[in-house]
Amino acid sequence: MGYYDDHYMSKKPPKKRNWLTPFVIGLVLGAFLFAVLLPSLVQNNLLPYQIMVNDDTATNQHQTDNRAGDNIEPSDIRNVQVDISTRISEIVGEVSPAVVGVINVQDQTDFWQQEDSGEAGTGSGVIYKIENDSAFIVTNHHVIQGSSQVEIVLPDETQVEATLVGSDLYTDLAVIEMDANYAEKVIEIGRSEDVHVGEPAIAIGNPLGLHLSGSVTQGIISGKQRAIPQDFNMDGRADWQAEVIQTDAAINPGNSGGALLNMEGQLIGINSMKIAESAVEGIGFAIPVDDVIPVIEELEQNGEIMRAYLGVEAYSLNDIARVEWERSLNLPDHIEGGIYIRSVEPMSPADHGDLESYDVITELDGEPIQDIVDLRKHLYSEKSVGDQLTITYYRDGEELETTVELTSLSY
Question: So which residues are the catalytic ones?
Answer: 142, 172, 256
Confirm if 361 and 314 have CB atoms less than 8 A apart: yes
Classify 126 as helix, strand or coil. Answer: strand
Q: What single-letter amino acid sits at 321?
A: A
Confirm if 263 and 200 have CB atoms less than 8 A apart: yes
| Cβ neighbour number for residue 349 with a 10 Å cutoff | 23
- How far does Cα 254 stand from its chain's mean position? 13
Q: Report the C-alpha dihedral over residues 291, 296, 297, 302, rounded to 10 degrees.
A: 130
Strands 388-395 and 398-405, by their bridges, are antiparallel
Q: What letter would DSSP give residue 64?
A: H
Confirm if 178 and 160 have CB atoms less than 8 A apart: yes
In angstroms, rounded to a whole number, what is the distance separating the alpha carbons of residues 151 and 160? Answer: 6
Q: Report the C-alpha dihedral over residues 147, 156, 284, 127, rounded to 10 degrees.
A: 70
Query: Could you tell me which residues are beta bridge partners of residue 124?
Result: 101
In angstroms, rounded to a whole number, what is the distance separating the alpha carbons of residues 353 and 172? Answer: 32
Classify 193 as helix, strand or coil. Answer: helix
Q: CA nearest 246: which of 257, 232, 258, 260?
A: 260
| Cα→Cα distances 56→61, 63, 77, 96, Å | 8, 10, 10, 46
Confirm if 215 and 252 have CB atoms less than 8 A apart: no
In angstroms, rounded to a whole number, what is the distance separating the alpha carbons of residues 399 and 388? Answer: 20
Q: In b/e form, how buried is each residue of 63-90, taking b as 16+ CB within 10 angstroms? A: eeeeeeeeeeeeeeeeeeeeeeeeeeee
